[in-house]
Structure 1
Amino acid sequence: MAQLSINLAQSSATAVEAQVGNHSIFVDRPIEKGGGGLGLMGGQHMLIGIGGCFCSTLFAAAQSRGIEVEGLSVEVSATLAEEGAPRFTAVHLGVTCQKPESREEIEKLIAIAEKGCISINTVKTGLDFSAELSV
């Protein structure tokens, strides 16, 4: 079974740096919430991951069908739980696109991207989760 692995290392009193190949990003809390403001919060990165995965999958679907996509914009909005553990209770992707101009064509690409996106499939179906001390 294929696995992906990302390493996060502490970079300040409140932040970590994620290193993936030649890329790195910081995860932190806003200053007003006790963080250093060095990066986005983890939940924001999660939403970027969902939106980015969706876009990447849509581009791949379009490319494999010889469809040119231009002006794609995706607004990811999430609803936070009002009670219980901090979490998102809903995520919505609002998609606009200049090309293809055909509504049917872009709606088909949206449906394909939603079905083929690893992040969306994970959120929709859940996952096993564990956290433990590694020695």
Structure 2
Amino acid sequence: MQIQVKIDQMGPSTAEAAARTHRVLVDRPVEKGGEDRGMMGGEYLLTGLGGCFMSNLLAAIRAREADIGNVHLEVNGTLAAAPSRFSAIEVVVYAQAADRALLVKLVEMADRACISSNTLRQAIPLTFRIAQPS
């Protein structure tokens, strides 16, 4: 099985990525010579990780009919200088949970089920942390 994304040039610095019936623009900020018409590739990498993890976490919550809601993630990538890359990524999970121990268990399960975290963990330090909702 494969997952495929197609990417086409749309302008001097802009590309359009397509997966199934979905399309998004990829671009650079103006200060980096782009037109700022979309997120940069590195931002999409963090978005892909967060989206993959979130979909698995929400599925685990639904399957157990857990009293967990208002789920919010912050995905933070630490940049290294040369070559330009992420040297570490942290996913911070915020949620209203009646049972914090269950939330911890479901975060661990979602992490293990996520294609993106399973792939990235082989290359860089990847951590998940649960924070108190604000």
Q: TM-score w.r.t. structure 2 length?
A: 0.87
Q: Is the 8 A contact 2:67 2:99 kept in 1?
A: no
If you compute each CA radius of gyration, which structure gives the higher value, 1 or 2?
Answer: 1
RMSD: 1.1
Aligned residue for 2:129?
A: none
Pick aligned residue for 1:97 from 75, 90, 95: 95
Aligned residues: 123
Q: Give the deviation of 1:40 after TM superposition.
A: 0.5
Task: Determine which structure has greater relative contact order: mean sequence separation of CA pairs < 8 Å that are 6+ residues apart, divided by chain length.
Answer: 2
Unaligned runs of 5+ in 2: 124-134
The answer as to 2:84 corresponding to 1:86 is: yes
> Per-residue CA shift, 1:31-87, capped at 9, x if unaligned?
1100111100000000000011110010111222222431001111110013x2100
Q: Give the deviation of 1:27 after TM superposition.
A: 0.5
Q: How far apart are the structure 1 equivalents of 2:24 and 2:60?
A: 27
Aligned residue for 2:17?
A: 18
List structure 1 runs of 4+ shifted beyond 2 angstroms.
none
Q: TM-score w.r.t. structure 1 length?
A: 0.86
Q: Is the 8 A contact 2:67 2:98 kept in 1?
A: no
Q: Is the 8 A contact 1:25 1:39 kept in 2?
A: yes
Unaligned runs of 5+ in 1: 127-135
Q: Is the 8 A contact 2:77 2:89 kept in 1?
A: yes
